[in-house]
Amino acid sequence: MLRAIHLFPEFSNGHSINAIREKYDPLADLISPHVTLVFPFECDVSTEALALHLQESMVGLKPFRIVMTGVTGADGEYLFLNVKVGNDQIIQLHDKLYTGLLKQYLHRSLTYTPHLTIGRLKDKQIFEFALTETENWNEVFETTVHQVVVERIDEHENSIIEMKVPLIP
């Protein structure tokens, strides 16, 4: 079963993110705006075992504020909405989740940079246009993160919420 673990921040002005994603992100209709903590991995472990791992990994982590603004490009095809506040907490969650049960799925060859993907464009000209178009998009997105979400990804790349694990205040 293909799974991933995310934060699904709920911003009061999230419609702006959705408008950009509809133009530039092929996954916009398949999954809500998210910050990936554990990238898609194939795993047949039970929901209960995975829930226990999340609960143990998240001990002591409390709800936290995030602020996102500014768009940058990555790998010549991705548009990222950048984390300005909450970066350390997101990295801490990422690092703790990639222990124990999920340690084998960590890609150490890739540096983890918290972000919210708002576009993926394989055409270089369209990518450059999108970067130019979003250059002055300085809207600020702010919320408090209260939970971590495990999703299953079906054969059509649809996101199915498997569980939500709260951060305990």
- Global pTM reads 0.94
Res. 169 pLDDT band, cuts 50 70 90: confident
N-terminal to C-terminal alpha carbon distance within the chain: 31
List, for residues 114-130, the tens digit of each pLDDT value: 999 999 999 999 999 99
Angle between helix 47-57 and 87-97 (nearest 10) = 130
The residue behind tokens 């921040």 is 9
Q: Which long-range contacts (CB under 8 A, 24 or more apart) does 19-24 make?
A: 20/79, 20/118, 20/119, 20/134, 20/137, 21/118, 21/119, 23/119, 23/130, 24/79, 24/118, 24/119, 24/120, 24/121, 24/130
Domains recognised in the chain with CATH numbers: 2-166 (3.90.1140.10)
List, for residues 46-105, the tens digit of each pLDDT value: 999 999 999 999 999 999 999 999 999 999 999 999 999 999 999 999 999 999 999 999
In 8-125, beta strands by DSSP E:
35-42, 64-74, 78-85, 115-120
